[in-house]
Amino acid sequence: MPTVDVYNGQGERVGELELHEDIFGADVKEHLLFDVSQMLLNNRRRGTASTKTRAEVRGGGSRPWRQKGTGRARHGTIRSPIWAGGGVVFGPKPRSYRYALPKKVRRAAMRSALSAKVQQNELIVLESLHLPQPKTREIVNILDNLNAEGRVLLVTAGPDENVFKSGRNLPRVKTTVAQQINVLDILNCDRLILTADAVATVQEVFAS
């Protein structure tokens, strides 16, 4: 069973925490991480790209010149795709890119992502995180005390407006709650910071 150190906001080690073997000690299945990441990226696409076909562009009511006798190639309409300003062949049209993988696959990928962070020593457990008021400096100080460099994903057990407002001005910090974490955010961060309560919530939600 994997064990991690627990730190307070001053960066001091205050104890240890045993993690759930099935969630934080699972085998890392890279193909599942790829599949779920692709699904999340596709589901974020707006799908609003649109082009006009030859039936939708303007003009072309009559032939540009007569069929024979000009020495030029015959043409029936200026809306042909081979003309500048003509229609587009097989161009994009508004559509949805969304698709869903099975729930078991998504959960297995989440366990792989969390386990990878443990194996790479990129998981930090924070004893608690309570800010009396929104203050970006407080988050910066905590990250400095924890030596959390690079991109940081800060996860709390439940919604905390003060934490959210304190971290939203930091371009390298993203805050979220335990029930909304996803594989893509975990893979994109250099340091995953969870409060002790968030760890309990994650283990409750994603336990097999």
Number of H helices, E strands in the chain: 7, 6
DSSP-assigned states of every residue in 73-90: PP-S-TTSTTSTT---TT
CATH of domain 3-46+101-206: 3.40.1370.10
Each domain of the chain, given as residue ranges in start order, spans 3-46+101-206, 51-91
pLDDT tens per residue across span 198-207: 999 999 988 7
| Assigned token pair, 114 | 């969390």
Nearest to 9 by CA among 172, 114, 137, 119: 137
pTM of the model: 0.84
Asked if the model's pLDDT at residue 195 lies above 80, the reply is: yes
Q: How far apart are CA 135 and CA 123, in angstroms?
A: 24
Confidence label for 162 from pLDDT (cuts 50, 70 and 90): very high
Q: What's the confidence (pLDDT) of residue 208?
A: 59
Exposed, middle or buried by CB within 10 Å (0-12, 13-18, 19+), for 183?
A: buried
